[in-house]
């Protein structure tokens, strides 16, 4: 019988990014120092992350297989159906991982970095040695995901939200169709969010417009949508700018711009492209995130 494989997911620290950009620690210190900043807190946060990753790797049973992948390489990593994922970092990293896995259990581990809410990376390092051997049998929370499909077969899924709009944030033009009706719109784009995403970008729109909608919870199958900055004109309307997407329903956009992009969870580099006349359908995904 093949030994289980644990895949540890992380992202480069700010310290790593500084060294990649400036070449040496000294150059990075000079760059920050010339702007009145110190490298010390960045280096301290890096050390915390390095120690956390070492602790997680040390907790993997010796006879198990193991893999490691950095955030930027997720789209190219060959995940296996029986993998057990351990995400070490901030909450957003779990969302980044979710779109590339399908049913594998995901354990979110907070490395102890300041500013992390711990909503998705909800387990501390001290819990890892006991949880790792039990992955695959411990209870999981099935979180709803959202899916976007273009009529040429392109598709993507996301844990928090899908955004449809102009690549350079110019005006997006399209015809929107919801369960309530349809109209032509000119806007800054559309956000369709899950209950997990309802605490982020979606909630920002909800608060700003003082919406009466009851946003979905993370395990609810319902989605919420908000159109950003819809512009009223003789040719475009603002009637269908927010609402809920129930099970079996969708929000459909027919593109009336030269080019619109579709991306999920803030990963603009991993996007779909739709051109004039194409149809984009956004609905609840069949796939779920199995969060430990």
Cα 292 from Cα 289, distance rounded (Å): 9
Mind listing the pLDDT tens digit for each residue in 232-281?
Answer: 999 999 999 999 999 999 999 999 999 999 999 988 888 999 999 999 99
Cα 56 from Cα 6, distance rounded (Å): 10
Q: Are residues 123 and 180 in the same domain?
A: no
Q: What's 51's domain CATH number?
A: 3.40.50
Mind listing the pLDDT tens digit for each residue in 169-186?
Answer: 889 999 999 989 999 999
String of DSSP letters for 176-199: EEETTEEEEEEES-EEEE-TTGGG
Mind listing the pLDDT tens digit for each residue in 195-232?
Answer: 999 888 888 889 988 999 999 999 999 999 999 999 99
The pLDDT value given to residue 1: 66
Q: Is 166 helix (H, G, I), strand (E, B) or coil?
A: coil
Q: Does 292 reside within a domain?
A: no
Strand 272-275 vs strand 190-193: parallel, antiparallel, or unpaired? unpaired
Q: Are residues 215 and 90 in the same domain?
A: no
pLDDT band at 113 (very low <50, low <70, confident <90, very high): confident
Cα 114 from Cα 130, distance rounded (Å): 24
Q: Are residues 134 and 264 in the same domain?
A: no
Q: Are residues 108 and 175 in the same domain?
A: no
pLDDT band at 25 (very low <50, low <70, confident <90, very high): very high
Tell me the whole-structure pTM to 2 decimals: 0.88
Per-residue pLDDT averaged across 86-108, rounded?
94
Looking up tokens 């969302």 gives 95
Per-residue pLDDT averaged across 107-133, rounded?
90
């Amino acid at each position: 019988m093949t030994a289980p494989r644990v895949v540890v997911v992380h992202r480069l620290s700010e310290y790593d990014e500084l060294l990649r950009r400036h070449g040496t620690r000294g150059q990075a210190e000079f760059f920050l120092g010339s702007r009145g900043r110190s490298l010390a807190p960045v280096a301290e946060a890096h050390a915390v992350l390095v120690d956390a990753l070492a602790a997680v790797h040390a907790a993997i049973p010796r006879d198990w297989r193991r893999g490691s992948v950095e955030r930027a390489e997720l789209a190219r990593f060959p995940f296996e159906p029986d993998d057990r994922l351990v995400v070490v970092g901030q909450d957003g990293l779990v969302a980044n991982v979710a779109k590339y896995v399908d049913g594998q259990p995901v354990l979110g581990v907070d490395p102890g970095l300041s500013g992390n809410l711990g909503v998705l990376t909800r387990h501390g390092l001290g819990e890892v040695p006991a949880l790792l051997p039990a992955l695959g049998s411990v209870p999981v929370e099935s979180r709803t995901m959202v899916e976007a499909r273009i009529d040429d077969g392109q598709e993507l899924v996301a844990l928090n939200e899908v955004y449809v709009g102009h690549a350079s944030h110019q005006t997006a033009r399209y015809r929107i169709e919801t369960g309530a009706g349809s109209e032509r719109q000119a806007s800054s784009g559309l956000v369709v969010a899950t209950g997990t995403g309802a605490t982020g970008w979606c909630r920002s729109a909800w608060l700003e417009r003082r919406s009466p909608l009851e946003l979905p919870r993370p395990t609810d199958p319902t989605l919420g949508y908000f159109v950003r900055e819809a512009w009223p004109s003789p040719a475009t309307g603002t009637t269908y700018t927010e609402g809920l997407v129930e099970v079996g329903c969708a929000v459909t956009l027919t593109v009336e711009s030269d080019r619109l992009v579709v991306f999920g969870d803030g990963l603009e580099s991993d996007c779909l492209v739709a051109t004039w006349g194409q149809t984009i359908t956004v609905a609840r995904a069949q796939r779920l995130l199995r969060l430990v």
